[in-house]
């Protein structure tokens, strides 16, 4: 396995809480998102696993999985009423889930393998396995439609100091490699907006010569990368991007930007000291914030907590499943070694 591969910073959350209202600068162009959620927490038994990814086609069809566990407790499915463990084929490990419908779901994971669910069963669809590798990980999958899907990840060749990010593309028929970096890299996230494909690269320094870890954003033009941003974590607290309402929002430290006409245009700032450096949402006035001590919400004007966890070590994992009136967050409590799903329903 890769000894040091980037994992999103996880710090967070669980128990009801009063609001903390920190003013945020930014435009208000639509109705603020509602906050009247009813919350439930479901515990999923997977003792040697961290359920790190979640995706669903609807509130009655939600999947969550992780790269550990066994074939009998690695993958879970929610049918709108209860969670059920779903046995996977041997060798099926999940770092990421993404799909388009109940019968078209992708899972990427270890060994460069991409699995597909057709509504009846999971089957291996593609394996990316370049020569001379040591380890391959599929880190993220994203697409705008079933015939335009991207996957990114990292190949570690001779040792952890020689690793390369790569991009795969699915055209509705087959997966193909469309790019592999010729520089030290690991691609951890991909998003697409109006045919503009953005890649998130995270370079680990391993503490060599006092170097700092580096965050880089790229555009993929179909054959190569165009660097649009780079900075070290000595200068910024964190850097990542995510799709919100079909648009890509870049989070750099506590500032949120859109990349417009080759410029980063600031949209708003999150001036909350316990911010956990991840944002997800439906639109710019309906954004969920991962916090070090809870789950909060930005409505275009202010931040208010929605939910708190019983300790500050519990973590919201990766990107949630967000629907019109329901949300699902994969959660891990390392102290109790418990996997949970935080499920919110608007009243």
pLDDT digits (tens, 9 = 90+) for 132-154: 677 999 999 999 999 999 999 99
pLDDT higher than threshold 50 for residue 21? no
The residue assigned the tokens 């009801």 is: 16
Q: How far apart are alpha carbons 315 and 311 in whole angstroms?
A: 9
The secondary structure of residue 208, as a DSSP letter, is G
> Closest Cα partner for 327 from 145, 113, 119, 54?
54
How much of the chain is helix, strand and coil, in % rounded to 5? 0, 55, 45
Distances (CA, A) of 22 to 13, 19, 227, 254, 257: 18, 9, 34, 13, 19
The confidence score (pLDDT) of residue 209 equals 56
pLDDT band at 9 (very low <50, low <70, confident <90, very high): very low
- Compute the chain's Rg from CA coordinates: 19
Cα torsion through 189, 34, 237, 320, rounded to 10: -30
In the prediction, which pLDDT does 271 show?
93
Q: Per the structure block, which two tokens stand in for 19?
A: 């609001």
**Which structure tokens are listed for 140?**
């993220």
**pTM of the model as a whole:** 0.90
Cα 139–145–147 angle (5° rounding)?
90
* Cα–Cα distance for residue pair 340/45, rounded to 1 Å: 9
Lowest mean pLDDT among 196-210, 262-276, 311-325: 196-210
Going along the chain from its start, the domains and CATH numbers come out as 14-346 (2.130.10.10)
- CA-wise closest residue to 298 among 288, 283, 307, 306: 288
Q: Report residue 28's pLDDT band, with 50, 70 and 90 as the boundaries.
A: very low
d(CA 73, CA 51): 10
265-268 contacts, C-beta under 8 A, 24 or more apart: 267/26, 267/27, 268/24, 268/25, 268/26, 268/27, 268/298
Nearest to 249 by CA among 323, 185, 191, 321: 191
Closest by Cα among 78, 76, 87 to 58: 78
The answer to whether 176 touches 168, Cβ cutoff 8 Å, is yes
Backbone angles phi, psi at 156, to 5 degrees: -105, 120
Given this model, what pLDDT does residue 10 score?
A: 33
pLDDT at 161: 65
**SS3 category, 210:** helix
Per-residue CA distances from 228 to 199, 201, 216 (Å): 10, 11, 8
Inter-residue contact 244 to 282 (CB < 8 Å): yes
């Amino acid at each position: 396995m890769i000894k040091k591969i980037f994992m999103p910073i996880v710090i967070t959350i669980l128990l009801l809480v009063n609001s903390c209202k920190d003013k945020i600068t930014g435009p208000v162009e639509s109705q603020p998102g509602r906050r009247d959620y009813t919350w439930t927490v479901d515990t999923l038994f997977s003792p040697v696993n961290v359920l790190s990814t979640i995706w669903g086609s609807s509130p009655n069809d939600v999947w969550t999985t992780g790269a550990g566990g066994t074939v009998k407790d690695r993958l879970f499915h929610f049918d709108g009423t209860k969670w059920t463990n779903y046995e996977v084929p041997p060798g099926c490990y999940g770092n990421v889930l993404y799909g388009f419908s109940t019968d078209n779901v992708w899972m990427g994971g270890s060994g460069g393998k991409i699995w597909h669910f057709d509504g009846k069963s999971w089957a291996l669809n593609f394996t990316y396995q370049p020569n001379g590798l040591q380890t391959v990980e599929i880190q993220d999958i994203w697409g705008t439609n079933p015939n335009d899907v991207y996957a990114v990840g990292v190949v570690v060749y001779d040792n952890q100091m020689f690793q390369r990010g790569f991009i795969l593309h699915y055209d509705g028929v087959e997966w193909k490699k469309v790019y592999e970096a010729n520089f030290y890299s690991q691609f951890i996230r991909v998003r697409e907006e109006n045919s503009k494909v953005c890649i998130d690269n995270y370079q680990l320094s391993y503490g060599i010569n006092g170097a700092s870890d580096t965050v880089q954003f790229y555009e993929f033009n179909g054959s190569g990368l165009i660097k649009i941003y780079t900075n070290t974590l000595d200068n910024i607290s964190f850097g990542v991007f995510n799709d919100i309402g079909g648009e890509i929002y870049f989070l750099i430290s506590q500032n949120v930007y859109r990349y417009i006409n080759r410029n980063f245009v600031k949209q708003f700032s999150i001036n909350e000291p316990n911010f956990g450096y991840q944002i997800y949402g439906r639109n710019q006035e309906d954004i969920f914030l991962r916090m070090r001590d809870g789950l909060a919400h930005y409505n275009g004007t202010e931040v208010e907590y929605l939910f708190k966890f019983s300790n500050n070590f519990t973590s919201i994992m990766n990107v949630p499943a967000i629907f019109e009136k329901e949300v699902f967050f994969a959660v891990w409590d390392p102290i109790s070694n418990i996997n949970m799903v935080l499920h919110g329903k608007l009243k």
